[in-house]
């Protein structure tokens, strides 16, 4: 069976909502998913995720931490999906490849038809204790985040 490894962004906001996108192409067109995509050779998962979100949404994100790796067998392939807890650092989440997008609060998670592998993550997020833990961890991690020098920012942008 074909193996596919991808990264996905669980983009959250200060209101506790997550960003969901609707696929605009392929076998799973119209299904809802966390945005992301395939890693290129030599890329770390975090680099791939930042690149994919820029390509798909013209948005820069902060990749906070790995929330879940999902292993899922679709009829045509086996998917390994590394899902990262993220937030927007700049940009306006402009849809370049997706049909639609929505910010969903926890009580709205079931309002869209999630793709099977993404549903695994949604079920995790529906556990209010787990979601609260993620939000608290996110706040703690961000408060420790070192400030980047101008040289470091320039080096990052050149990648």
CA 150 vs CA 40, 50, 59, 88, 155: distances in Å: 27, 19, 20, 20, 9
Is 124 within 8 Å of 130 (Cβ atoms)? yes
Do the strands 2-11 and 77-91 form a parallel or antiparallel pair, or are they unpaired?
parallel
Q: What is the pLDDT of residues 85-94, one digit of tens each?
A: 999 999 999 9
pTM: 0.82
Angle, helices 116-126 vs 128-144, to 10°: value is 90
Q: What is the pLDDT of residues 75-115, one digit of tens each?
A: 999 999 999 999 999 999 999 999 999 999 988 999 999 99
């Amino acid at each position: 069976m074909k193996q596919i490894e991808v990264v996905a962004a669980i983009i959250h906001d200060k209101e506790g909502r997550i960003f969901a996108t609707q696929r605009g192409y392929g076998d799973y067109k119209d299904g809802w998913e966390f945005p992301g995509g395939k890693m290129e050779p030599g890329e770390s998962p975090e680099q791939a995720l930042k690149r994919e979100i820029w390509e798909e949404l013209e948005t820069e994100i902060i990749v906070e931490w790995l929330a879940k790796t999902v292993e899922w067998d679709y009829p045509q392939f086996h998917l390994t999906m590394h899902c990262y807890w993220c937030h927007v650092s700049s940009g306006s989440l402009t849809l370049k490849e997706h049909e639609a997008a929505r910010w969903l609060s926890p009580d709205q998670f079931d309002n869209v038809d999630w793709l099977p592998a993404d549903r695994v993550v949604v079920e995790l997020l529906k556990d209010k204790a787990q979601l609260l833990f993620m939000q608290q961890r996110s706040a703690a991690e961000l408060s420790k985040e070192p400030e980047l020098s101008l040289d470091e920012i320039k080096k990052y942008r050149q990648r």
